[in-house]
Amino acid sequence: MPEKFDVIVVGAGPAGTACAYTCAKEGLKVLLIERGEYPGAKNVMGGILYRKQLEDIIPEFWEEAPLERPIVEQRYWMMDKESMVTMGYKGGEWAEKPYNNFSVLRAKFDQWFAQKAVQQGAVLINETVVKECIVKDGKVIGVRTDRPDGDVYADVVVLADGVNSLLGKQLGFHRELKPQEVALAVMEVMKLPEKTINERFGLEGNQGVSVEIFGDSTNGALGTAWLYTNKDSISIGVGITLSGLIKEKKKPYEQIEYVKNHPMIRPYIEGAESLEYLAHLIPEGGYNSIPKLAGHGVLLVGDAAHLVNGIHREGSNMAMASGKMAAETVILAKQAGDFSENMLDSYRTKIYDSFIGQDLKKYKDATHTFEENPQYFKEYIPLMNKAASKLFSIDGTSKKEKQKEIMKSFTSGRGKLGVVQDLYRAWKVMK
């Protein structure tokens, strides 16, 4: 190992590896440090991987990456206790190259991705925990690891150490997270034969489906459950904000059992054998929770920078895009021989100008608003279900009468004005 690297990247998740790959490809000396036995060993994701941001790093990656299925259909279920209203989109074009997105298992995917960075020349060391950043005269100059003689130095350190970024906290970049800014997700990977998955979900060949489930899946708390088809397994999980779990007095492991046994979900996983049980935090605070992104000799990327769009279930793509943008900034800094905060701060501008900053800004009040107004998940979803049941039951009541009854059911709880206010509020935070 050289004494000093151009860049040290802490964490070999999608953000760190994207950064390491891009820097190494440009000929920089890169050290990628991962605490897990191998990249992905400790990582958790639903997981849907989006094509575009990885394609920007490795063109045509789908020809070689360990992907489970291309997702051809996205379903949304608004669930009550014994019913659901469904919508979604199935795209024939998504079944063809270059596809839209894919289901993945992170343990396999992260290893592959990190090896791509190694092939570009990055040095990867596993089973190594970075304990702290080494700071001299206000500038980050390296990291202290848990190895004997474990200090390593670099011009820039990129923190890609995930949602709970202890290193970001040590540098004072993060404030303490509030319970509504983070969701606790638990999930299981459940084995099922490929043929059974295809029959149950109405799929052909290697095609996959993603299902997002709202309402009773979280007992009306702010969050969602999901079902994603892998090759010969199903990923099932549920994520709820910590504040929602506290308010509803729910325990995550009880909630996933509830989801698995729900009459609308149970038939899809019947007979499946649990292979893995995982739990992880998701940063859900969005725009208002983004910490300081650049300092003297240091950048924050991915979940460590809280770049997750909880409304659209986008995290891995923002992680990769931010890792790439950080790398581009480091490459420019190297050319200029300037690793000051002033120079590295162009990364912050890049993030805020990109789809990441724009999307997070668009939804900046959404999580908070839905959290403060539980009626959206708790009242309106059951009402939607009752309305659909009424409308689709052929019972001799005239359609006009049914419409009247449905309108009445919506306004009887919150009043006409309350419903209009709720609609306006939802439109305002989602527009």
Ligand X SMILES: Cc1cc2nc3c(=O)[nH]c(=O)nc-3n(C[C@H](O)[C@H](O)[C@H](O)COP(=O)(O)OP(=O)(O)OC[C@H]3O[C@@H](n4cnc5c(N)ncnc54)[C@H](O)[C@@H]3O)c2cc1C
Q: In angstroms, give the least distance from the CB of 58 to ligand X.
A: 16
From the list 7, 22, 31, 47, which residue makes contact with ligand X (rule: CB under 6 A)?
A: 47
> Site for ligand X (CB under 6 A): how many residues?
40
Q: Establish if 429 lies at the interface with ligand X (CB under 6 A).
A: no
Q: In angstroms, give the least distance from the CB of 316 to ligand X.
A: 3
For 54, other C-beta atoms within 10 Å of its C-beta total 24
Q: Establish if 316 lies at the interface with ligand X (CB under 6 A).
A: yes
Residues of this chain, 195-254, that bind ligand X according to CB under 6 A: 237, 239
Q: How long a stretch of residues is the chain?
A: 431
Under DSSP, the state recorded for 353 is H
Q: In angstroms, rounded to a whole number, what is the distance separating the alpha carbons of residues 260 and 270? A: 9
Contact range with ligand X by CB under 6 A, out of 31-39, 262-270, 284-292, 352-360: 31-39
Q: In angstroms, give the least distance from the CB of 358 to ligand X.
A: 17
Q: In angstroms, give the least distance from the CB of 17 to ligand X.
A: 7
Amino acid at 54: L
Q: In angstroms, rounded to a whole number, what is the distance separating the alpha carbons of residues 296 and 137? A: 10
Instruction: Collapse the DSSP code of 20 into the 3-class scheme (helix H, G, I; strand E, B; otherwise coil) and give the result.
Output: helix
282: left (phi over 0), alpha (psi -120 to 50) or beta: beta
Q: Establish if 331 lies at the interface with ligand X (CB under 6 A).
A: no
Task: Fill in the per-residue mask, 244 to 283: x = in contact with ligand X (CB under 6 A), - = not in contact.
Answer: ------------------------------------x-x-
Q: In angstroms, rounded to a whole number, what is the distance separating the alpha carbons of residues 318 and 275? A: 28
Q: In angstroms, give the least distance from the CB of 164 to ligand X.
A: 8
- Sign of the Cα torsion 369, 371, 374, 380 reads positive
Q: In angstroms, rounded to a whole number, what is the distance separating the alpha carbons of residues 15 and 21? A: 10
Cβ-based nearer residue to ligand X, 62 or 373: 62
Please give the residue ranges that form the binding site for ligand X (CB under 6 A). 10-16, 33-36, 39, 42-48, 129-130, 160-162, 185, 187, 237, 239, 280, 282, 302-304, 308, 313-317, 319
